[in-house]
């Protein structure tokens, strides 16, 4: 937060939410300046609607807040996510949530939700990076008023990405690292990259991407890196019990 970040990306699957509260308190930044996100765990989805609600209220208590800015489910768990969504909509209508979102949803998952309730998700967080550009899903989301968020936006530093001469040439041109080039590519594509960093210097590197712009040709060149390679899981082909 002190480095300038305002989006906090959390999930019940990540552990102790009280650490989020401690971080906010120590930052000196008021709660209303932050965008606090949390997600429903798969464990709660398997347990049923009551557990989804109880888990969420536990998170609020642990994070010492009476609302979250963005509430998602972590995965579209088969035979569960529809019921989970209905609970999320109830919590939204009760004022606990400002914005509803989802994560790891393909088009067919979103279409189910469109027909399920009057409320629609406004954010979809899914795997996007130059090795897996997801152009079709991004376009579908944008056309339906859903902002795409990218997790693993730099492909977890996969060698197939970070060793590419193209990215090094572009980075050298702008005096930026290849990771900054990739994050800038996300932003210019209308995608919100959710970044992770364990040091202050890396945090600053991730956020220092707003003083340059990639050309149309450079954007197209980075698009061309795509090999449809995931580094995480396909929501249509995974075991949700281990996620």
Cα separation, 90 vs 3, in Å, equals 35
Q: What are the phi and psi torsion angles at 35 (to 5°)? A: -110, 100
Cα separation, 201 vs 224, in Å, equals 30
Cα separation, 108 vs 120, in Å, equals 14
- Residue tagged active-site, from 14, 92, 174, 233: 14
Note if 10 is an active site residue: no
Provide the token pair at 172: 């050298």
Q: CA torsion angle for 10, 12, 17, 19 (degrees, to 10)?
A: -60
Cα separation, 56 vs 62, in Å, equals 10
Q: Find the helix or strand (DSSP H, E) in which 166 lies.
A: helix 165-174
Provide the token pair at 142: 């944008």
Instruction: Please say whether the beta carbons of 185 and 222 come within 8 A.
Output: yes
Q: What beta strand segments (E) does 104-182 contain?
A: 123-127, 147-151
Q: How is the chain split among helix, strand and coil, in percent rounded to 5?
A: 45, 15, 40
Q: What amino acid positions are annotated as catalytic residues?
A: 14
């Amino acid at each position: 937060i002190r480095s300038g970040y305002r989006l906090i990306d959390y999930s019940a699957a990540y552990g102790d939410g009280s650490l989020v509260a401690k971080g906010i308190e120590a930052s000196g930044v008021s709660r209303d300046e932050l965008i606090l996100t949390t997600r429903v765990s798969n464990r709660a989805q398997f347990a049923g609607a009551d557990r989804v609600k109880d888990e969420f209220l536990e998170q609020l208590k642990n994070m010492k807040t009476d609302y979250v800015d963005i509430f998602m489910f972590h995965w579209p768990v088969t035979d569960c996510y529809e019921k989970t969504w209905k609970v999320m909509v109830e919590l939204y209508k009760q004022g606990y949530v400002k914005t509803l979102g989802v994560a790891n949803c393909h088009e067919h998952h979103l279409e189910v939700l469109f027909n399920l309730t009057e409320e629609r998700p406004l954010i979809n967080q899914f795997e996007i990076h130059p090795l897996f550009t997801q152009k079709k899903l991004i376009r579908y989301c944008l056309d339906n008023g859903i902002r795409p968020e990218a997790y693993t936006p730099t492909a977890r530093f996969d060698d197939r990405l970070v060793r590419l001469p193209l990215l090094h040439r572009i980075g050298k041109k702008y005096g930026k690292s290849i990771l900054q080039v990739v994050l800038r590519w996300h932003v210019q594509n209308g995608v919100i990259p959710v970044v992770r960093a364990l040091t202050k210097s890396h945090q600053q590197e991730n956020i220092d991407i707003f003083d340059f712009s990639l050309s149309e040709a450079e954007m197209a060149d980075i698009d061309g890196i795509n090999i449809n390679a995931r580094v995480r899981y396909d929501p249509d082909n995974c075991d949700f019990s281990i996620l």
